[in-house]
Structure 1
Amino acid sequence: MTVEARLEALEQRLHALEDEREITRLILSYGPLVDSGCAADVAALWEPGGVYDVDEILMTGQAEIEAMVRSGNHQRWISGGCAHVVGPPHVTVSGDEATAVGYTLMIVQKDGFVLRRATANHWRLRRTESGWRAVDRTNRVLDGREESPDLLASHFPAATRHR
């Protein structure tokens, strides 16, 4: 292998690692941003027409995502004490598109800290002129419904679920 070929291969590997790092940082920033009420910054994680699909609410576009963070319900979670703990995602990049799966735990202050919910998360992301952004994120509560583990498994095409 020539020096030029080795250098090109190294540059490709570095670019792939940089993509994964940027996507991981975007996903991990969700918890601190949403728990500190940084509504515009949370919304900016998505493309302008991005979708955030949570069990009880479907938000389409940055304005709806920002409104969720500013809502009275969400502000009560913040003022009462809460933490959205985002686990490290498993990221797969393919050119300018990527997917990621992982978990989020919502911990609330209620006579001590208690787990309110645990969710499976599936992200679809796209490289934009301003960096990676979420196209859509789907969250499902891990409460025994088949949809939640199916959401996680969908990221691993060769995986086979045993039911």
Structure 2
Amino acid sequence: MAEESTDLAERLAALEERLRRLEDQQEIARLIASYGPLVDSGSAEAVADRWEVDGTYEVDGWSMNGRAEIVAMVTGATHQGWIEGGCAHFLGPAHITVEGDEAVAVGHSLMVLHNGGEFVVRRATANRWRLRRGPAGWRVTRRTGRVLDGREESPRLLAALDPGAVEAE
């Protein structure tokens, strides 16, 4: 009887672990999916709240360090101009790997602009998100983006699926 009890306890622990991983992946997927609607609506504080206080958003040589710089990007003239003219950030499904309280998500994004009565893709980007679980849930510690324009580091960024992988430089 004790053996059955131990087996049941092990199975229950394994099930709880699997459920926790699925819940973590779902929370991270929702966090990433929220970026497009929030940034396209100009919700600067809500966008910045997806990052750790000292988190980094780096895309093609432009680095925003901390929430204040992310807010400044969203409220800045360039981004506000895109919103006024019509823009959409589409983030595809990400490959999410969770290891304890750290995670990495890798995927694509498209930025679409309304231009002269047409919608045009302004850029297609490879993204690597590093995330950490804290008291407020999952937050971005670093998002690295590289435009998919033929340069070598962009596909390397997409291949870096696990938390230990080195990001493209």
TM-score range, shorter chain: over 0.9
Structure 1 segments unaligned to the other structure (5+ residues): 158-163
Matched, 1:72 2:77: yes
Give me the whole-angstrom Cα distance separating, in 2, the residues matched to 1:106 and 1:57. 16
Distance 1:127 1:63, change over 3 A: same
Greater Rg by CA: 2
Partner SS for 1:144: coil
Which of 145, 155, 158 is the equivalent residue of 1:152?
Answer: 158
Tell me which amino acid in the other structure corresponds to 1:34.
V
CA 1:156–1:125 in structure 2 vs 1: closer, same or farther (change >3 Å)? closer
Distance, in Å, in 1 between the alignment partners of 2:143 and 2:158 is 12
CA RMSD after TM alignment: 1.5
Other structure's SS at 1:127 match: strand
Of 51, 59, 74 in structure 2, the residue corresponding to residue 54 of structure 1 is 59
- Is residue 136 of structure 2 the alignment partner of residue 130 of structure 1? yes
Q: Superposition pairs for residues 79-98 of structure 1, below 5 Å? A: 79-98=84-103
State the partner residue of 2:12.
Answer: 7
Determine the C-alpha separation between the residues in 1 that align with 2:41 and 2:128: 23
Specify the alignment match of 2:125 in structure 1: 119
54-63 or 100-109, which deviates more: 54-63
Aligned residues: 158
Are the counterparts in 1 of residues 87 and 114 from structure 2 also a CA contact under 8 Å?
yes
Displacement of 1:115 in angstroms is 0.6
Query: For residues 120 and 127 of structure 1, what CA distance do their matches in structure 2 show?
Result: 23
Residues 127-149 of structure 1 show CA distances to partners (whole Å, capped at 9, x for unaligned) of 01000000000000000000100
Residue 8 of structure 1: CA displacement? 1.2
Post-superposition CA distance 1:82-140 (Å, at most 9, x none): 00000010000000000010011000001311111000000100001000000000000
Q: Could you list the runs of 5+ residues in structure 2 that have no partner in the other structure?
A: 164-169
Aligned equivalents of 2:56, 2:127: Cα separation in 1: 13
